[in-house]
Structure 1
């Protein structure tokens, strides 16, 4: 009888893994599917390697004050580091902004808009549903902007909620804040300053009796947005801008 010097040893199990249980990889995959169903309503999320980064500005733009948990928000402290990472990442050549926002914190919205406008990489924005209030500067901050025909944009002066000290300095501060918004929108769109202010202070249209709501075609007609279009037009335009950016860098070199 021969002695077996190399007996077959069963493969070690993962910690806490029972022999009759499913392999760890199978459980992990099932867990990922369950998470997709719970979070996104689908078993599989389509992914593709792309030279673009898509960012959403949705709900209410949250600034220095934390909004109630039932509010759908875009937190500016989440968006700003992403914009820096996009600018630094050589694999990302363009940014697409999807907007459906009611507005929100003025300074937070302006900070996001200024960062988008100052990026060296081309960007395209699409207003879907609505791009209201401080969402307007964010929409026009991109290199090129689109709006779907059914979307609207609300233009109105800065408003505060809560108790405000009725001193002259308070009104001066609001006026300076409004001037910042005005200068940004006019300088980053084809809209005439006089037309912008006319729509800003228009009486009798909005519920608070000041401001204007414009639809997709009108936003383009007034020069606020560059063109009416959706995802297909925006993707084509962004790739066109990326190629133009590459060509200009090649000429400089």
Structure 2
């Protein structure tokens, strides 16, 4: 009797359903661990702010070196134009995106690729705001001024210098003429989309003694604003606030947020 009572009233720990691991729970734990490891590998942290699916702002980052028609070594941080250009086309076509925030921290790179990105940003029908964080050097200058309004951090810098070629260069007059025409394209674009005059921009471009063993000028924060190159000094908060103002003026609704 006592043995039967024990079997009916209690369960053997070895045969208890609760003691056996559930396969569904195991799979769920594996998914959580793999997702956690992916966050650590990509972002260096386990918890990141969640983006709103109803956001009306797209954040476009221009970082590292702007890659042209030649692929750079894998250890280089690059912005590839074949990635950026389709994004800009999708932004123009997506009715949910009403504004673009361009964040720059670039050393420059390929002139034609940089100008292509600049022209696409300038031709967007939707409001755009750029912010230079860290640096917006070389061909990053046209990208920074291509937006409707531009900001620069107080400690950020922008290097303005003549167009240069790397690799084999044929020493003939035609090579110089090609460089001169390419340089004029950059000068014309910058002066058209900013408040700096052509003479002032060329003075900064060909200044001697500002850069070590080179010609050009490095402008920092407020100096870029004083020259008329950038519209204002500010950070991410000011940039998003200005973009929301432009969106409201453009007939869109005001809602803070970003789409990645």
Counterpart in the other structure of 1:5? none
- In structure 2, what is the equivalent of residue 251 of structure 1? none
Are 2:111 and 1:106 aligned?
yes
Partner of 1:22, secondary structure, is: helix
Decide which moves more: 29-38 or 112-121. Answer: 29-38
SS at match of 1:220: helix
Equivalent residue for 1:115, pick from 116, 120, 123: 120
User: Where do 5+ consecutive residues of structure 2 fail to align?
Assistant: 1-20, 253-260
Question: Which structure's CA Rg is the greater one?
Answer: 2
Partner of 2:251: helix, strand, or coil? Answer: helix
- 1:43-81 Cα shifts (integer Å, max 9, x gaps): 122122211000110010001011111111111110000
Residue aligning to 1:150:
155
State the partner residue of 1:197. 202
Give the TM-score normalised by the residue count of structure 2. Answer: 0.85
Greater shift in the superposed pair: 18-27 or 97-106: 18-27
The correspondence for 1:22, drawn from 1, 25, 31, is: 25
Q: Distance in 1 between matches of 2:94 and 2:31?
A: 30
CA distance in 2, matches of 1:158, 1:105: 10
Q: In the superposition, relative to structure 1, how do residues 81 and 208 fare at CA in structure 2: closer, same or farther (>3 Å)?
A: farther
CA drift at 1:19: 5.8
Instruction: Tell me which stretches of 4 or more aligned residues in structure 1 moved more than 6 Å.
Output: none
Unaligned regions of 5+ residues in structure 1, if any?
1-17, 248-253
Aligned partner of 1:175 among 177, 180, 186: 180
**TM-score when scaled to structure 1?**
0.88
Q: Which moved more, 1:202-211 or 1:217-226?
A: 202-211
